[in-house]
Structures are given as C-alpha cells and as structure tokens.
Chain A
Amino acid sequence: MKVKEQQQILFKSRQIENIGELDVYAQHGGYEGLKRALAMKPDDLIELVKASGLRGRGGAGFPTGMKWSFVPKTPGKPKYLCVNCDESEPGTCKDRELVEEQPHQLIEGIAICCWAVGIETAFLYIRGEMLEGYLALRKAIDEAYKAGFLGKSVMKSGYKLDIVLHRGAGAYICGEESALLSSLEGGRGFPRLKPPFPAISGLYACPTVINNVETLSTLPHILVNGAEWYAGFGTEKSKGTRIFCLSGHVKKPGNYEMELTSTMRDLIFGCGGGILEDKELKAIIPGGASAPMLTREHLDVGLDFESIAAAGSMAGSGAVVVMHQDTCMVGAILRIMEFFEEESCGKCTPCREGTRWMRDVLIRIHSGHGQKSDLDLLLSVCGNLAGKSFCPLGDASTSCVTSGLRYFKDEFEHLVEHKKSKYSLGAYDPRLVAAHH
C-alpha cells in the first residue's frame, strides 16, 4: 500500500536540524503565532480557537476554546494553566517527542493560551521519567526568557508571563487532571471530586486550565494560518490532524501525524508498512491501554473521535497498538491489567480491589488453572467497577477485559479447557509474572 500524502502541521518542521533551538525555530516562523495572538483581544482569540474546532488531545477530546471560555474573566484571584506532559498511557509516546524535539512550539502555544485566558503563571507538569525532555524544556524556557518571549513583558507587549517547569516522580494517575493538581500542590496524586471543575476551582483553589502538550503545540499554527484553514482538515466534528503513536507488531513503528479523515488501514499499512513478518493482524488497541480493543475487521474505521467511538472503542490518547496472529490475547490482556492494578492509586475500593481481583483471575486462567465460571466472574467484576470508581482509571481497566471477551472469548475458553495457550507470544511462563505481586 502506498503511503498517503499526509498533511503535516505539528510535524511540519520535524526534519529541520536543531529546531529545538530558539534561533532555528524563529528562522522558520517561530513565535509569529504568538505575535499575532498578542495583537488580538483575548476574547477574540478564544473565539478563534473555538472556530478552529480544535479538541483536546490528552484523551477526552474536549473542545479547547470552550474549555477556556469557562474560566471566569475577573475571579479576583490568580488563574493558572497546567500543561499536562505526564504522558504515561501505555502505547503513547508523542508528547515526549514534542517536548524533546520541538520545545519552543509548546512554549509558544502555552503563551497563546495564557494570553487568551488572562493567565500570568503556567505550570508545566512533566513526567519524572522524562529527564531528557525536562532538560530540553529547561534550556528552551531559559532561551525564551532571555529573548523576551517569556517574563515581565512578553514580546514588549507589557503582558507578564512565567512558566514554572515541574517534574513529577512516577505515577500514571497524575495524568488525570485533578490528580495532577493534587500532585502539583505537593501531595499524593489523588483525584478529586468534580464539581467544582478546575475552570472554577483548580490549582490552589484558583481557576485553572489543564491542556495536553499536543493540544497547546497546535495553537501557533492556527494563529498563523487561521481558524478556517485548520477547520478545513478532518471531519465535521474532528477537525485538523492528530499525532498517532503506532507501536507493537508493525514494520515501522513511530509517531505519525495524520489528517483526521484517515483510516486505521492508512495508519497501520500505509505509515506502518504493514504487519511484522507479514503475519495476520489480530488485534488493535486504538487509543491507549484504556481503550477497548478492536480487530482486523475494523481496518476501515476512521481515526476521528466519532468513528472510533461508533466502532465501540475510543480515540483516547492516540496510541495505536497492533498485535499479530501469534499473540496470546489472554497474556496480552493480563499484561494490561497488571498495569492498571499497579497504577490504581488506592484511593477508592472498587478500583483498588477490582483491578487486583481481575489480575488474579487472569493469572489463574493464563497459567492453566482457570475454570469456565471465571469468564463470568471477570465480567461481573467489570460490572461492579465500571461507573463505580472515583475516577476514570477504574473504568479504563475494564476495557481490555470486556473487549477481549467480546472478540477473543475462544482463546479464554481454549485455555480453560486445554490449560495451555495455542500461541507462541505471551504463553504462560512463571518468570514473566510481575514481580511486585
């Protein structure tokens, strides 16, 4: 299959050497978007972003301009932006590339957002494990201060903006926006009850915008080329392009920016070059480990939010994980469940206990000690967890099980009956069970 000519927006400058440096970034049109933004009234800027149709790239797909418009204009206290660079959804690796390779694109986007919402301090929460991204950002932020793109008077406009770079310390849950706030305030990363929503009462009980790295990195391009231009790409409800993180059993894994009119087939067979060793495709996780799995029947599903939802899954973080014919699906599902069990923050009982229980049952089946009733037991635990946990992590943990039993029930049944997997990749091996259990 031929690779479709792809519209590149965020990755337009990807090949330019040293684009992470301010001079090079500026030579290639960098900070032009911010200049245009500062010439606009903040309210008009919010309208522009609304008109572009840009939706959040962190997972939920919430319209960005609308999110900003919920923040009170004159709350009588400071307003904050928290940039979500906690990227830890299994399969997702785009924000890391964006901060390591193109940090100024993000900084420019941050400044545009802050001007629109009337924010003078942005906190950039970067996952602790991304030491190299942290160092790249620290250097870029220093450069931006020195050149007057940040600080007391942004581009001599009199507008003051500070970015505080903040390192996390290892916990998946801190990517959930309210847990991120708890962590940023110096506590355990526990999620908070909503309402109040962060737009009203977020960081330090002040109005707060939380946006993903990719979302913010898109803004300079919308400013330079216009809302209509951006809205000209994609589908009616999913505008623009998106970066998909393609991994697993494909020939060419990678981050690929694609217009949202593309399909799963364009991504996996076009960009990804097809399945490793030309094997048969078996399963696709379309939006990170939290998203229900799909199968090779779904290759013609569009990559936009609505099409993936209509197929019974979710676009989530844009991480597409591919598995081929030799994969033991029970083994793969167990591995995903081990992640959720490990990362459940422990605050609420349904999630803490439910993930542990499902993991134990999956180990039982995988190791050849399962019973037929275990399949119903798994579904019943899912039923008692989905919608009943404090935050969406609990729901997310059930996706792999419910979709796995929908499409690959025969593999579970085969394991129960014959005690042994038919598949070579991920068959039970006692050395491979997680150590922390």
Chain B
Amino acid sequence: MSLLTPALQDEIRQMMARYPKPRSAILGALHRVQEELGWLSPEAQAEVAALFDMPAGEVDSLVTFYYMYFRKPMGRYVIKVCRSISCYLRGSDQLRCHLQDKLGIQRGETTADGMFSLVEGECLAACDGAPAVQINDRFVENVTSEMLDGLLEELRKGSSRFPAWPEPCKP
C-alpha cells in the first residue's frame, strides 16, 4: 500500500510543475511528506524517489545533507534549542541542560511516551531574542527555565500555538 496518499502525490506533481525542472521541487516535496508522515522512512523516501524518477540513493543523500529532515520517528513536539554564539552568550546551554533534566533524555533523543524530542540547532535568526528555541519550527524567544516548564505543561495538554507533528508512521 502506498504511504503517499493520491492527494499528496497530486500536490507534489503540482509543485513540480512550478519549476522549469521538476527536480527543484524535491526539498518541498520532502517537507510535505514529513508533515504528513512525521518522518522520512526509507519506504517513504523510495516513493518520493519514484515520483521524481530518481534513484532512492539520491533522495537519501539529500535527506542526510539537510538537517530538517527526520530519519527516525520523532516526538509530537520537537524542541530545538539554538546553540550558536548569541544564544550561547545568553545561557542557551543551561536551558538545554534544564530540558534534559526535566525530560530525562539526552540531545537527539525522544521521551518514551513519544511526546518530546530534544535537539540542538544552529543560529535560528532570532539572535535579538536570545536565547531562542523553536517548538515544531515556531519561535519562542527570550526563553527562561521557568518559561520552559510552563511550555512543557502547555504542550502536554495540547496547544493551538504549536501544532503537533502527526503520530509518526511505523518504521
């Protein structure tokens, strides 16, 4: 059975038509597939490769090159803490350690209940609001440990500010 619904396949074909060469749509297509499936499993990648008429290995090489693509199932909320210089100077490491302690996971890991993943990112272009964090690619700035505690509570209840990633499809 196909992982990519016919509607999603159609959408990707429309994206391809916007460019002089269809292959230019590949990054956008991978974003959309990840939004639907939660991550880019080898099976999902193979289906994208088939749509673009390119070898699966080439899709894999893109998925490994670009940081935003998930190569394993992630939590419903991916918390990305900026580690670059402006945030570093404003205590981002302490925030990240606080999250590790609160969630009981290390960087790159997901909580056992599948709720949270903790990752580090490089400069998120929010340096004037350092330290900055993204939750599912939405910004939170001037973050403190207390704010993080409040955010975790909010997310556990389900938050309209931060749409959740879908339940990741089975590996």
Which chain A residues have a beta carbon within 8 Å of chain B's beta carbons?
78, 87-93, 95-96, 121, 127-132, 164, 166-172, 183-189, 204, 245-249, 253-255, 285, 289, 319, 321, 323, 327, 332, 335-336, 338-339, 342-343, 345, 425-426, 429, 431-432, 434-436
Contacts and interface: CB of A to CB of B under 8 A. Distances in A.
Contact of A247 (B69, B97, B128): B128
Contacts of B24: 166, 184-186
Nearest to B52: A186
B4 interface: no
21 contacts: A78-B20, A87-B125, A90-B85, A90-B127, A93-B126, A164-B19, A166-B27, A167-B27, A169-B31, A169-B68, A184-B24, A186-B24, A186-B25, A186-B27, A247-B86, A247-B127, A248-B85, A289-B84, A321-B86, A429-B93, A435-B107
A426 B66 contact: no
B137 to A, nearest CB: 4
Interface string B36-73: 00000000000000000000000001100111110000
Contacts of A91: 84-86, 123, 127
Interface of B: 18-21, 23-28, 30-31, 61-62, 65-69, 83-86, 88-90, 93, 97, 106-108, 120-130, 134, 137-139
Contacts of A171: 65-67
Contacts of A95: 125
A387 to B, nearest CB: 24
B128 A246 contact: yes
Nearest to B21: A204
A388 to B, nearest CB: 23
B86 to A, nearest CB: 4
A155 B44 CA distance: 43
Contacts of A248: 85-86, 89-90, 130
B143 to A, nearest CB: 14
Given A164-B19, A254-B128, A339-B122, 4 more contacts: A91-B86, A95-B125, A204-B21, A436-B120
A163 to B, nearest CB: 10
B21 A129 contact: no
A58 to B, nearest CB: 14
A432 B126 contact: no
B101 to A, nearest CB: 10
B138 A90 contact: no
A99 B93 CA distance: 29
A131 B138 contact: yes
B21 A339 contact: no
A384 B130 CA distance: 34
Nearest to A323: B89
A347 to B, nearest CB: 11
A185 B123 contact: no
A285 B85 contact: yes
B31 to A, nearest CB: 6
Given A168-B27, A169-B27, A289-B85, A435 B120 contact: yes
Q: Which of B19, B127, B137 has most chain A Cβ within 10 Å?
A: B127
B56 to A, nearest CB: 15
A369 to B, nearest CB: 20
A253 B89 contact: no
A21 B43 CA distance: 41
A336 B85 contact: yes
Nearest to B28: A167
A129 B129 contact: no
Which among B88, B124, B126 has the greatest number of chain A C-beta atoms within 10 A? Answer: B88
A249 B124 CA distance: 18
A131 B23 contact: no
A150 B87 CA distance: 39
A342 B122 contact: yes
A338 to B, nearest CB: 8
Nearest to A252: B128
Contacts of A88: 122-123, 125
